[in-house]
Amino acid sequence: MGKGYVAILGATSTVGRALAAHYAREGFDILLAGRQEDEVHRVGQDLATRYRCSVRAVHLDSDSFDYPQALLASASGVAPLRGVVWALGTMHAAAAEADAALLRTSTWVNFGAAVAAVEGLLPHVAPSGFIVLLSSVAGERGRARNYIYGASKAALTTYGAGLNHRFAGHGPRVTVVQLGVVDSQMTWGMDAGMPGADPEEVAAGIARAVAKGRSRAHVPKRWGLIMFVLRLLPEAIFNRLRI
């Protein structure tokens, strides 16, 4: 018998599927929700075969404002959830987009959908369970290249901090993970200035932070130091940087 279900929201993302494999190896059953219909079912079949766990794989379009309601329907019958992992995100190469629909989609997927989904699932999460929000170092200081993405991730980080405060000592553990550059579908082809981290190593780092009860973690760890330095830079110096 498994340890209960962990919901991976964003199961077809590179880090999402690595985390799904990690928790399946740990003996959990898995609820997968992903935007790519064929791929989410393929990932589910692979996990069930490889780790002999129970898997529910559902296709959910996080771009839709109906996402939270569809997610709750898919989660019926697996409560209480032992964990919820928000691993969805979207980033456009342009600093700012004039297309209002694109802006709305970006801020919704990176922040609005996360809040709506997690708040909807909270009553179904075991008090001894955990919630993981994958945010980004891009939210720690606004940069010309991706300030809209960064702003939405900053909002997600603040939401996670508030959620952690709400449940401190009497509810699910909340871990906000500020990811650095990861070798993933979202960063493919982008000039990030440094090589992306291996998704498997990133997933292991996230899982360690959760197991240790960390409320906030930089993964990979080196990004904690990098962002500490960037936050300290005076604005006059920072504005000269092309990062």
pLDDT band at 126 (very low <50, low <70, confident <90, very high): very high
- List the structure tokens of 59: 């296709």
Q: Give the residue-averaged pLDDT of 201-210.
A: 96
Q: Give the residue-averaged pLDDT of 53-66.
A: 85
pLDDT of res. 193:
56
pLDDT of 235 higher than 50? yes
pLDDT of res. 144:
85
Average pLDDT of the residues of the chain: 88
pLDDT of 61 higher than 50? yes
CA-only gyration radius of the chain, Å: 17
Q: What distance in Å separates the CA atoms of residue 57 and residue 161, rounded to the nearest whole number?
A: 29
pLDDT band at 98 (very low <50, low <70, confident <90, very high): low
pLDDT of res. 103:
85
Bridge partner list, 136: 179
| Residue 202, φ and ψ in degrees, nearest 5 | -65, -45
pLDDT of res. 189:
43
pLDDT band at 97 (very low <50, low <70, confident <90, very high): low
- List the structure tokens of 215: 């409320």
Least reliable range by pLDDT among 48-57, 148-157, 194-203:
194-203
Rounded to two decimals, the pTM is: 0.89
pLDDT of 74 higher than 70? yes
What string of DSSP letters covers 172-238? -EEEEEEE--BSSTTTTT---SSPPBPHHHHHHHHHHHHHTT-SEEEESTHHHHHHHHHHHS-HHHH
pLDDT of 93 higher than 90? no
pLDDT of 225 higher than 70? yes
Tens digits of per-residue pLDDT, 147-178? Answer: 889 999 999 999 999 999 999 989 999 999 99
Domains and CATH numbers, the chain: 5-238 (3.40.50.720)
Coil vs helix vs strand at 80:
coil
pLDDT of res. 188:
44
Rounded to a whole number, what is the distance in angstroms from the first to the last CA of the chain? 49
Least reliable range by pLDDT among 46-50, 96-100, 146-150:
96-100
